[in-house]
Amino acid sequence: MLAKRSLSSLSPFSPHREKINTLIAFEECMLATGDDGGAVKIWDTRQAKSIFQFKENEDFISELSYVPGKRCILAPSGDGTLSVFSLRKKGLLARSENQEDELLSAVTLKNNRKVVCGSQGGILDIFTWDEFADISDRFPGHPDSIDSIVKITEDIVATASSDGLIRVVNIQPNKLLGVLGEHPDFPVERIRKSRDSKLIGSCSHDQRVKFWNIEDFYAEEEEGELPDLAEDAMASGAGVDAMDNDDDENADEDEWADEDDDGDDDDMDSDDDDDDDDDDDDAMDMDTGASSSHGRLQKSRAQQKQNNGKKKKQQQQASRDAQRFFSGM
């Protein structure tokens, strides 16, 4: 029988005193970890040990984000502050004032000139680099907490929220661009971008990993246009269908909470919406009711057949993209 070994003998890494809540890898051989007690440790895998530690926060470190050009690590915390640690100076570079809300996620934009943090209250707090004492701007609107943020371009982010929606937001000017996808009835815990920047992967408590196509954002941004989120939203997973979103991309903040109710149809079948519109037409024109009903039925069947074919192609493409996503990790 194999002899039992202690945890310390299994790993040469000195442990955190509190549970590890987040981990990132950077610069090929470096790791950073944040724990529930507010400590951040930097590890060198070549030395198999922690090379230094920061302890500036009083509550859990919710996420860590590495800024390559500045060799800094962003650490939003449950104590309501954002800490910025310099790897060059091996110390704290800056720490924000308490925002009176848990900061759960962070990402840099505008060529590292801006830092955007997602909060428990559904507000995007925007900091200017070198002016971390307080926020320079804020963008309310999410009905629930913003648990994860991914940069799509230098101006556009995708946000994962506890209401199950993945939104696409433009930062300064602040504008909701639409809903990329969703995990119905479950919070979106984390989103990440693939190495080739073509997909965003999302995970939730529904035990599914979904993938969403963002490739068109890069090509169409150069042309001054934005992709149709309803057409490009795509998911892959065990029994997961692609999402169809008919919401107005220019909806204001008060409409964010209702984005998933304004025409979304998880099975990509718009027959019900067509029938409702056609019922109104019948009330306006009774003389052509019979012929219109027959025409609508044929149109509905043709539309359903087209949607089913489109959905099958999207799922097949999503499966291929998912394989590329994991092979590139």
User: What integer pLDDT is reported at residue 242 of this predicted model?
Assistant: 38
What's the rounded mean pLDDT across residues 251-260?
Answer: 46
**Average confidence score pLDDT of the chain:** 78
Which residues span the domain enclosing 82?
20-140
With 50 as the cut, is the pLDDT of residue 175 above it?
yes
Give the E-state strand segments of 27-170 in sequence order: 30-35, 39-44, 49-55, 65-67, 72-76, 82-86, 91-95, 103-109, 114-119, 124-128, 137-139, 146-151, 156-161, 165-170
User: What integer pLDDT is reported at residue 295 of this predicted model?
Assistant: 54
What is the percent of the chain where pLDDT is above 70?
62
Q: Is residue 134 part of a domain?
A: yes
Nearest CA-CA partner of 180 in 202, 195, 207: 202
**Pair 10, 2: CB distance under 8 Å:** no
Domain tally, the chain: 1
Q: Is residue 125 part of a domain?
A: yes
DSSP class of 293: H
**What CATH number is attached to the domain comprising 39?**
2.130.10.10
What's the rounded mean pLDDT across residues 244-262?
Answer: 44
Q: Is residue 276 part of a domain?
A: no
Amino acid identity, position 209:
V
Of 44-53, 213-222, 237-246, 252-261, the range with the lowest mean pLDDT is: 237-246
With 80 as the cut, is the pLDDT of residue 58 above it?
yes
Specify the higher pLDDT residue, 320 or 199.
Answer: 199
248 confidence band (pLDDT: 50, 70, 90) = very low
Q: Is residue 96 part of a domain?
A: yes
**127-147 per-position pLDDT tens digit:** 999 999 999 999 999 999 999
User: What integer pLDDT is reported at residue 254 of this predicted model?
Assistant: 46
Q: Is residue 26 part of a domain?
A: yes
Residue 64 bridge partners (DSSP): none
Q: Is residue 72 part of a domain?
A: yes
Q: Is residue 282 part of a domain?
A: no
With 90 as the cut, is the pLDDT of residue 233 above it?
no
**Pair 245, 231: CB distance under 8 Å:** no
Q: Is residue 222 part of a domain?
A: no
